[in-house]
Structure 1
Amino acid sequence: MTQSQLRIYMSNYLKNQGTWKLSQLKKLKFEEIKEEFEKLVKQIDTFVPINIEATKAQLKRYGEELQTEISKKQRIDDKDVSDTEEKVGKSPQGDSETDKEESVEAMNPTPLDTKSNIVANWKIFQQGERSIYQIIRANGADTVYMSFGAMLKDFTREDLIELYRLVMQKYGTNRPEDAYDRVLWSDLRTMFDPPLNEDAIWSLPLQQKMISWRYYDKCAVHCLTLEACNIYMLADRKYPLSKDACQVMLKMKLLDGKMNEVCYKLLKMIEKQAGVKK
């Protein structure tokens, strides 16, 4: 493959991944495009799911879907480059490098990429006494949330898993120095890491007044709000909540609970932990 053809291939791949626009790539030198291409491929190749038992199945499924999507795009890109070479070879006047790229743009409109809006980064900043969450997607879009709870209303479980993966990739088990990142890190670890009975957080429901118990349907997470903090939990996972705490939760009732299988199983699980016999 010639340098010109390779440039077309890499530009097309970067464009379809949602990281660059063709108009931006035209302004870059070949070496710069190659560097961005290799950087993206490395990110994909080095993706390793977090080894947490409770999320292993979801992460494995996510990885398989991502690899399938990449393979599909690879086949599409290879076909487009092959078709472009054939059309360029038959041109009586000979196309310039820019014309070739524009030809690829016309022949290969950006496909609907279900992974283009994957969570790619996050930022947390203070506005008054509030922590503002900015979520940046791989396609360049970003959304600002006034609270973690507001973010969960909009997040899918896949979004939540990806955010957890990114936070753990950056911090691991090392407690972040930044107070805002530390709260996010703690909330995500409470949800995804194997819960321990001796963790101090599980004694808080009996030490503080319980304010509310809320369910987030889109990501299947429930939140127990106490006087001084929130405890976020995955709806399909059992946590070491005490019998007394579960009894109080059931008396408060589950806010925004949906009549679906996941929510129903959550209520049954809490009833069992509370010792309710039916």
Structure 2
Amino acid sequence: MQSCHKSLLGSGTSRGDFAKKIVDLEIKERSLKRFGEELQTKTPKRLKEDKDDEAKDDEPTKNKKKETVTGTETPINPVPVAMKTPSVATYKIIKQGEKGVYQIVREDGTDIVYINFGAMMKSISRDDLTELYRIVMNRYGMDGPEDKLEKGFWKCLRIMFEEPLSTDFIWSEIGQQKIISWRYYDTCRVHCLNLESMDVYMLSDRKYPLSAEVCQTMLKMKLLDGKMNEDCYRLLKMMEKQAGIRK
């Protein structure tokens, strides 16, 4: 110890300076010891939290940008996914004097009212039309309803979807009446013959027992609202074939 004191004292060092150095060394030793004890008593959880905090501070800006752009977590402004329109749940014919309006109710509770059958054809889809036919037939069957307005609705759908043999009552009448107009509805892919006393709605991709004379008259008329899409083009070709027109 005495030799150690001598080395610390050195040449030209007073005893007062030597004593001060001894005190400084003891203070440093106690500080180091206390720091070591704090490290040993710090829990792994606390060490992990400290490490995570440091990692967040040092996290590159590009990583933070990636979270909002790629949407790996919850995006700030999520874009809603397009959803299919809910299917038809039911319908109701609301009487207004001798006529009626059609109320179509969807599965989500929303509804829309059409002033007549033709107005409904302008916006309804083929899938919705098919579902309406199923609902009507489940409700009334082959006998049909007694109510006049309901029976007219039931008849229109039967003509469109059933085999022609089950709807013979209509085809013989078409040739005996004057055709006022011929109209096409692209949303549901339906065409309609407007006659003097009735309207006949038909699916554009189904062949019906129309006479060659009726088909020729139809082709001479302008197909109203007939947008020349692929379905409309096939309809015209089918009418030409039924009319006996070869090109």
Question: Could you say which residue in structure 2 is the equivalent of 1:271?
Answer: 240
Aligned equivalent of 2:184, options 197, 211, 215: 215
Q: Structure 2 counterpart of 1:208, which letter?
A: Q
Aligned equivalent of 1:171, options 140, 146, 152: 140
1:149 and 2:118 equivalent? yes
The CA RMSD measured in Å over matched residues stands at 1.9
Give the 3 Å change call, closer, same or farther, for CA 164–112 of structure 1 in structure 2: farther
Task: State the structure with bigger RCO (CA 8 A, min sep 6), 1 or 2.
Answer: 1
> TM-score scaled by structure 1?
0.58
Larger displacement relative to structure 2 (151-160 or 111-120): 111-120
Q: Is the 8 A contact 2:159 2:167 kept in 1?
A: no
Give the 3 Å change call, closer, same or farther, for CA 252–116 of structure 1 in structure 2: closer
Give the 3 Å change call, closer, same or farther, for CA 115–169 of structure 1 in structure 2: farther
Q: What CA distance in whole angstroms lies between the structure 1 residues aligned with 2:107 and 2:242?
A: 41
Question: Could you say which residue in structure 2 is the equivalent of 1:225?
Answer: 194
Q: Which runs of 5+ in 2 are unaligned?
A: 1-79
Percent of pairs with identical residues:
60
Equivalent runs, 1:32-47 vs 2, <5 Å? none
Aligned equivalent of 1:255, options 200, 220, 224: 224
Q: What CA distance in whole angstroms lies between the structure 2 residues aligned with 1:167 and 1:117?
A: 18
Q: CA deviation at 1:154?
A: 0.8
- For the residue of structure 2 that corresponds to 1:117, the secondary structure is coil
Question: Could you say which residue in structure 2 is the equivalent of 1:160?
Answer: 129
Q: Is the 8 A contact 1:124 1:180 kept in 2?
A: yes
> TM-score scaled by structure 2?
0.65
Q: What CA distance in whole angstroms lies between the structure 1 residues aligned with 2:167 and 2:129?
A: 25
Q: Is the 8 A contact 2:192 2:201 kept in 1?
A: yes
Q: Is the 8 A contact 1:220 1:234 kept in 2?
A: yes
Q: What CA distance in whole angstroms lies between the structure 2 residues aligned with 1:196 and 1:137?
A: 32
Give the 3 Å change call, closer, same or farther, for CA 112–185 of structure 1 in structure 2: farther
Give the aligned length: 169
Q: CA deviation at 1:174?
A: 1.7
Q: What CA distance in whole angstroms lies between the structure 2 residues aligned with 1:127 and 1:177?
A: 18
Q: CA deviation at 1:196?
A: 1.8
Give the 3 Å change call, closer, same or farther, for CA 251–163 of structure 1 in structure 2: same
Q: Which runs of 5+ in 1 are unaligned?
A: 1-110
